[in-house]
Amino acid sequence: MRRALLSLSVCWVACQFAITSFAQSRDGDDDYASLSPAQASKALADFRDSRLNGDLCLRIEITHKPRKGDSSPVVRGVIWAAFTEQGQQMRGEIYDANGRAALAFTSTKGAATHAVWISHLGQAATLSQSSGWQPLADGLLLSAFDLHLPFTHWRDTRYVNTAKSRGRPVHFFDAINDTKDAPAKVNFALDRTYGALVKAVCFNAQGQATRTLQVDEFSKVAEQWILGGCSVLDETTRDTDVLRVTEAAVGLKLDPSLFRPETLSKPATPPSTLKKL
């Protein structure tokens, strides 16, 4: 049986975002020791293979906070996530001010495939050719890419070092994009103790940082740890989107059809077991 680690599946995602049992904590200088090639490969493989005990559903709120000026009205949505033979699958719905689904997407991420399908206003879904970079709503930074996190499974992923981040030992990896799409590279960080993705920085072809994803908090639901909140920073404008999970349901068994692109034209029904965080 696979040992479950803290894993961002939403998400960051995540996400993409949870733990069923904690690894043993370590103290001392060894926390910051560099990994051998074998250890680095195992740390990455453990993160990619980690999963929850069951599927999950999250209600989310997204607020855009410009560097200057007032924050935008809250944008609400729902995310479903599951682990299948095809890989990590996610469905997201973003609602307008009247509570109608303005955008819906579904994504698959695994060793063999990455795909993001997007539907606008109930229209037929189309395959995104740019990894889902389009903002989830007008005025936002957050995109399907930020929730799908395809870079965690990019083939060319290299261990960089182990260092301190926010007072904790973290393994840093560079994921190199083998397509012509942006970003050219993503440097992401895995917490050494819990195996959680805690930060990701996107770079353009000139080596300049373009956006930073930061996991801000985790929440515990039914003895499982999931994403509680994260933020995305535009490195040029210094504007920020803040995502907060308001309700969650774990241990679900979602219908596989929920993640099929042809179902995006009709809103899905969140489970009745959602609980406020």
Q: Is the pLDDT of residue 3 over 70?
A: no
Where do the domains of the chain lie?
31-268
What is the C-alpha to C-alpha distance for residues 194 and 200, in angstroms, rounded to an integer? 16
**pLDDT tens digit string along 250-275?**
999 999 999 999 999 999 999 999 99
What is the C-alpha to C-alpha distance for residues 149 and 10, in angstroms, rounded to an integer? 7
Backbone phi and psi for residue 181, each to the nearest 5 degrees, phi listed first: -75, 155
Q: Is the pLDDT of residue 25 over 70?
A: no
Tokens 């050719």 locate to 129
**pLDDT tens digit string along 102-153?**
999 999 987 777 889 999 999 999 998 665 678 999 999 999 888 888 899 9
115 CB-side CA count, 13 A: 14
Region 83-105 average pLDDT: 91
What is the assigned CATH class of domain 31-268?
mainly beta
